[in-house]
């Protein structure tokens, strides 16, 4: 089940990019203070925050709880579908979400709703920030929040629609 949760979480994060930008904001000071020097990816930052749970700020704890609740919701809705249709898909860069979307017609109704919502959020993000991504983040490989970090670093220069979505 832990593997299923990771796969679903990867799809959720990829699809809800703007939401993960807010999570970064809530936990960024804690990550800088408690996890300095730990490279992103592979769940290392999450493991660091978990290991330092007693020292994590209330805002970051709330964001982590919110993400966990969403992961549970997605897991409850899509775990069987991920096992059935996407078990051999490596998580990351939205691959699990793409696999689920490719099998949309065969998914359970609950998972279909989750996938549709994720696709809509991703489309909204791409529409609002696609131009800014091409302009400011050309050459940055997607994954592990690199595009979001790039956009965040150019926040003052973003188009109004992208800036609003990033807030």
Is this prediction's pTM over 0.75?
no
User: What's the pLDDT score for residue 11?
Assistant: 46
In angstroms, rounded to a whole number, what is the distance separating the alpha carbons of residues 21 and 50? Answer: 19
Each residue of 61-107: pLDDT tens digit? 998 888 888 888 888 899 999 999 999 998 777 788 889 989 999 99
Q: Which residue has the tokens 């996890």?
A: 35
Q: With pLDDT > 90 as the criterion, what percentage of the chain qualifies?
A: 40
Helices (H) then strands (E): counts for the chain: 8, 0
Each residue of 46-63: pLDDT tens digit? 889 999 999 999 999 998
**Would you call 37 exposed, middle or buried from its count of C-beta atoms within 10 A (0-12, 13-18, 19+)?**
exposed
In angstroms, rounded to a whole number, what is the distance separating the alpha carbons of residues 109 and 88? Answer: 22
User: What's the pLDDT score for residue 28?
Assistant: 83
DSSP string, 89-136: PPPSTTHHHHHHHHTGGGS-HHHHHHHHHHHHHHHHHHHHHHHHHHHH
């Amino acid at each position: 089940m832990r593997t299923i949760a990771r796969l679903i979480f990867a799809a959720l994060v990829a699809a809800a990019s703007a939401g993960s930008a807010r999570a970064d904001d809530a936990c960024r000071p804690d990550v800088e203070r408690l996890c300095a020097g730990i490279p992103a990816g592979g769940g290392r930052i999450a493991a660091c925050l978990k290991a330092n749970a007693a020292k994590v700020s209330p805002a970051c704890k709330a964001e982590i709880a919110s993400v966990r609740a969403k992961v549970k919701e997605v897991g409850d809705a899509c775990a069987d579908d991920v096992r059935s249709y996407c078990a051999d898909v490596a998580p990351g860069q939205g691959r699990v979400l793409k696999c689920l979307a490719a099998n949309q017609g065969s998914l359970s109704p609950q998972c279909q709703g989750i996938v549709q919502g994720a696709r809509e959020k991703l489309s909204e993000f791409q529409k609002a920030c696609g131009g800014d991504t091409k302009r400011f983040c050309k050459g940055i490989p997607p994954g592990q929040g690199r595009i979001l970090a790039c956009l965040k670093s150019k926040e003052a220069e973003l188009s109004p629609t992208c800036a609003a979505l990033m807030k």
